[in-house]
Amino acid sequence: MSDKNKPQDSQDAPVSLSRRGFLGATAITSAAGLAGAAGLSSAVMTRESWAAAAKEARNSAHVAPGELDEYYGFWSGGHQGEVRVLGIPSMRELMRIPVFNTDSATGWGITNESKRIMGDSAKFHNGDCHHPHISMTDGRYDGKYLFINDKANTRIARIRLDIMKCDKMITVPNVQAIHGLRLQKVPHTKYVFANGEFIIPHPNDGTNLDVTSGERYTMFNAVDAEKMEMAFQVMVDGNLDNTDADYTGKYAAATCYNSEGAVDLGGMMRNERDWVVVFNVEAIEAAIKAGKFVTLPGHPVPVLDGRKKDGKDSPFTRYIPVPKNPHGLNTSPDGKYFIANGKLSPTVSVIEISRLDGLFAGKYQDPREVIVAEPELGLGPLHTTFDGRGNGYTTLFLDSQVVKWDIDAAIRAYNGEKVNYIKQKLDVQYQPGHNHASLTESRDADGKWLVVLCKFSKDRFLLTGPLHPENDQLIDISGEEMKLVHDGPTYAEPHDCILAHRSQIKPIKIWKRDDPYFADTVAMAKKDGVKLEEDNKIIRDGNKVRVYMTSMAPAFGITEIPCKQGDEVTVTITNLDMIEDVTHGFCLVNHGVSMEISPQQTSSVTFIADKPGVHWYYCNWFCHALHMEMVGRLLVEPA
């Protein structure tokens, strides 16, 4: 778009006159007042220098047609309940992986395989995805799994990254609303750490409906990453928010708000401070091994008490006071610091992880002695990410900015040295939440790209009615200055993302016939004496009809399925094609039945033939020049 056709609004005004520029200048001046004014002018870019830098960066971000991106990005699908796969830096959407939603394209939530994975929670048709994270070995992404939480229905799911499909799902017992989720980094991802957010009465069986009295708490949860079973839970005071783990395997930490244990906004704001709760994983494991735990009615998971009792610390937790209502909790890639983001305070709290042994040993009378810096960054700090060069990048929700700051300089300023720790502030549009730099949650943080996920887009895109899209923005952080290179609409409120190098993710091109993903379906066929790769067979067992067929472009192995009204029909299809990207589908008209069958995959679906007559089924994934002719008929005899 030429400059003369560009909308002229506040974002085109000089920085000094814009709302964000004014707020940013105010915040940075405040920080300079605390830390010294040296280098202040370099932190604010002029509109002209910003435009020139952005143009240069956009050229470096261009991925030409036919070229491949350098990074995979995995986005939470927000209220859609899915995970989205993007290429970085192109920001091209490559795939959507259904998880907590129903997806008619793949048949997720419809097929027997997906329903077995979802278990009892298949009855839910909504999800609220927040935090996608990739499994690690020795603090580096190993490309094996991606984990994602569902705040809406208290679930955690696992996605196999070789097939990019969800293969396990668990509903976390004894808590409500899984919010923060992170993984144990070393020696490998043994645990998925997840925060139960809301305080509930225990037992929550209706005998006590007053959450302000009686036995009540939420819990920090650990899930066995391989078995996808509960490992342990730890009772805490307050509402848990975000979490992360260290690079020793010993500690995890979580921000915690509502230290008052209240149920209303006014009550949640009474105390001057809230906490970061630190969990001693080694102490927890030792107690479980010694049998020093309890279980709650209905589930055998070991439960330990991490609450303070009569002012005394639990052996499993320590509560570090931080400014009110902290939000994000992030571990620096050098393994030195937990950083808690202030949200209502313009500061972040830098916790030195090496001091935590002393904290648990009683070395410090004041737990705040483990805090080595509390720099003032701007209004509404929510989340911090890192470039691996000693810099943090923090989103400022109220200022609509990302601030780049020097962690070491912030520590020196906290100790009284006159030094400016803020390197740059960059306007983003608008109200950013999470941000994420390439490889930042691992030892390999490479400081190339940063994604910022904005909660509002307002005037950035064509109008779409009262419901606007959100806005994802890509920032080049490879040089000294951040350069905004791309923004694009997204739906509906993707919460967080993670970026891995393409060399770390190794998807397969064609299914292996012995894949455990459809092993249960193969076992059922074996009981019926069916060879899925060869047979096309219909088996009647009372009012149950089991149909086994092959598919190879452009034909189904069976084109007529006779049955009676009221029969329960299970259709199992094996795609015999060996050519990558030749996916078949099965869609039965007017029955709400559809599924995907990729090369060498077996998929199955069960439905009731409740409508007499002729009902066509067809391949709904384009596979061949004669794709339209790939059809068959369900012949339903009236009852």
Look at residue 51 in the predicted model and tell me its pLDDT.
65
- In the predicted model, what is the mean pLDDT of the chain? 92
Q: How confident is the model at residue 60 (pLDDT cuts 50, 70, 90)?
A: confident
Residue 78 has pLDDT above 70, yes or no: yes
> Is the pLDDT higher at 57 or at 212?
212
Range in 24-38, 45-59, 377-391 with the lowest mean pLDDT: 24-38
**pLDDT of 115:** 98
Residue 602 has pLDDT above 70, yes or no: yes
Going across the sheet that includes 273-280, the strands are: 239-245, 251-257, 273-280, 317-323
pLDDT at 21 over 60: no
Rg (C-alpha) for the chain, rounded Å, is: 27
Name residue, tokens 């007053």. Answer: 210
- The answer to which of 16-25, 96-105, 425-434 has the lowest mean pLDDT is 16-25
- The CATH number of 516-637 is 2.60.40.420
pLDDT on residue 20: 42
Of 321, 299, 326, 292, give the one whose Cα is nearest residue 308.
321
DSSP 314: P
* Unique residue bearing structure tokens 């007017």: 590
Residue 578 pLDDT more than 70? yes
Structure tokens at 601: 């995959």
The pLDDT-based confidence of 53 (bands split at 50, 70, 90) is low
Lowest pLDDT segment from 46-50, 156-160, 397-401: 46-50
The secondary structure of residue 103, as a DSSP letter, is B
C-alpha 582/C-alpha 485 separation (Å) is: 35
* Residue 499 predicted with pLDDT over 80: yes
Mean pLDDT of 140-167: 98
Q: What is the pLDDT of residues 317-366, one digit of tens each?
A: 999 999 999 999 999 999 999 999 999 999 999 999 999 999 999 999 99
Q: What is the pLDDT of residue 49?
A: 64
Please give the pLDDT value at position 1.
38
What percent of the chain has a predicted confidence (pLDDT) above 90?
89
pLDDT mean over 93-118: 97
pLDDT score of 37 more than 60: no
Check whether 59 has a pLDDT greater than 80. Answer: no
- Mean pLDDT of the 44-66 span: 71
pLDDT bin (cut points 50, 70, 90) of residue 494 is: confident
